[in-house]
Chain A
Amino acid sequence: MTPIVALEGIGKSYEGPRGERTVALTDVSFAIHEQEFVSLIGPSGCGKSTILNVVAGLLPPTSGNVLIAGNVPQAALDARKIGVVFQDAVLLPWKTVVENAGFLLMIAGRLDAAGEARVDALLQMVGLAEFRHHYPHQLSGGMRQRLSIARALALDPLLLLMDEPFGALDEFTRHRMNVELLDIWSATRKTVVFVTHNIAEAVYMSDRVIAMSPRPGRVVDDFRIDLPRPRTKEVRYTREFNDCVVHLQRLLERDEDTTP
């Protein structure tokens, strides 16, 4: 089966203002298959977000090959088949909840009856149906982020890219959002690439965790999480869960020590 994401030997370097080259990524290879939930984890500067931009087709790599569902990333981009969620919800403050949820579909020219029905269903799913005529400033941080997830899912994307989506939320809200995102994921079974620097979050949510290290950004481990699904809150208190967390923590800490 063709993987949804296939990266082969991806390298990315930037030229600075004085001609010096900064290597952001070197030799990154991995594949993500349909319906997989994969987290990219690592400290700041390890190129997690750069990978996301490369996968989204927003940034061409300096070297290597990217294939999205067997095609160039631009094809998926042009088909509006990539859903993106950022750390900030980036909602339009002058549009209501339902208008925000359908906004990207409208831009893509696909806000037809079927699109509107999907928006309604998604608002129901993320628990915002009764707030459909509210404005973003009337929502809490968690609600805003749920809305931005609904907006991305409204595109019915091939792939959902999430760049530290809960990084700006407090610990309790973050955890509630983790549980809710897992529910959403179970219902939609989208392929997800989830960037985070929270190890417990990555382990709790993912089928696989790809650990990265900085300067230059590279993959240090591609770690399968074999915890049973559906995952309850209780899973976080099991020995297996903690083993995974400890393994990743050791890996990333060891890495920290070797970086200058």
Chain B
Amino acid sequence: MTAGTQQTFGLSGMQALRVALFVGLLLVAWQLLSDHFRMPVYLLPSPLAIGKSLVADYPIYAKHALATLTEIVIGFTTGVTTGVLLAIAMSRSQTIANALHVPILATQAMPTIAIAPILIIWFGVGLAPKVIVITIFSFFPVLVNTLAGLQATGDQMVKLMRSVAATEWQIYRYIRIPMALPHFFSGVRLAAAASVIGAVVVEWVSSDRGLGYLLILHESRLNTDKAFATLVILICLSITIFALTAAAERRLSWTKRLGLS
């Protein structure tokens, strides 16, 4: 059903065409307006200027995009894994849930941008502080949603399983995990978006590579066309990651497969 697929922003061919048409129209209008008013490039570069910059400096953008992508893939994977493991632990034991509650909230309450410099002091400008920040950004939505999903299995279902002497593992394997999957994917979608933001934030604070670094570099030099080009790549990167998680969800989550919401 289309209602289900639209929710994950999985686009059908027809919808994709419409989106492309709309974006194309916007770009044309932007180009025409900036030509008409003779906008200086440092104020608002035209789409053509941005495109030229993208083509001309293609290898540089690719290098930095790859750096950011690496950070995101490692940090996002770590974040999702951490979120799932914490959710399982907290759903298994009320003691663990109580103990972890406040520390976990603290990781979300503290201003991560402000502690990024501390992480850089501790771990240098390499991969480690980035992975840590992205993990902090991405584990939380996965944890909250997966925990809700693991608790979504009703008492009667558990009782039914116990009435046929099902093992604890069977209850997880056949009931709790499939029941939690749709919730888990809601968390993953949020985490995917958050991890891109996390990567840019930490690169912004201090880094010698990555799209966030490139962005602040160009902005400080008033290379607005190049800053916009960087943004375009960043947006494309985000959408790709988002589309990949949506594709995984369509394959693995039964609510999507059956068109249920």
Contact = CB atoms under 8 A, between A and B. Distances in A.
Contact of B164 (A93, A94, A137, A155): A155
A90 B170 CA distance: 16
Contacts of B159: 53, 58, 84, 86
Contacts of B154: 88, 90
Contact of A86 (B156, B165, B257): B156
Given A82-B164, A84-B163, A137-B260, 15 more contacts: A58-B159, A77-B164, A77-B165, A83-B163, A84-B159, A84-B160, A86-B156, A86-B160, A90-B154, A92-B178, A104-B160, A104-B164, A107-B166, A108-B165, A137-B258
Interface string A83-100: 110111010111000000
A57 B257 CA distance: 37
A56 B258 contact: no
A78 interface: yes
A84 B163 CA distance: 7
B160 A94 contact: no
A103 B157 CA distance: 12
A107 B161 CA distance: 8
Nearest to B154: A90
B37 interface: no
A135 interface: yes
A93 B156 CA distance: 15
Contact of A88 (B156, B162, B163, B165): B156
Interface of A: 53, 56, 58, 77-78, 80, 82-84, 86-88, 90, 92-94, 103-104, 107-108, 135, 137, 155
A93 B164 CA distance: 20
B175 interface: yes
B163 A58 contact: yes
Of listed B161, B164, B175, residue having the most chain A CB within 10 A: B164
B122 interface: no
8 contacts: A58-B159, A58-B163, A82-B164, A84-B163, A87-B156, A90-B157, A92-B174, A93-B254
A136 to B, nearest CB: 10
B151 to A, nearest CB: 16
B181 to A, nearest CB: 9
Closest 4 A/B residue pairs (Cβ): A94-B254, A84-B163, A86-B156, A80-B164
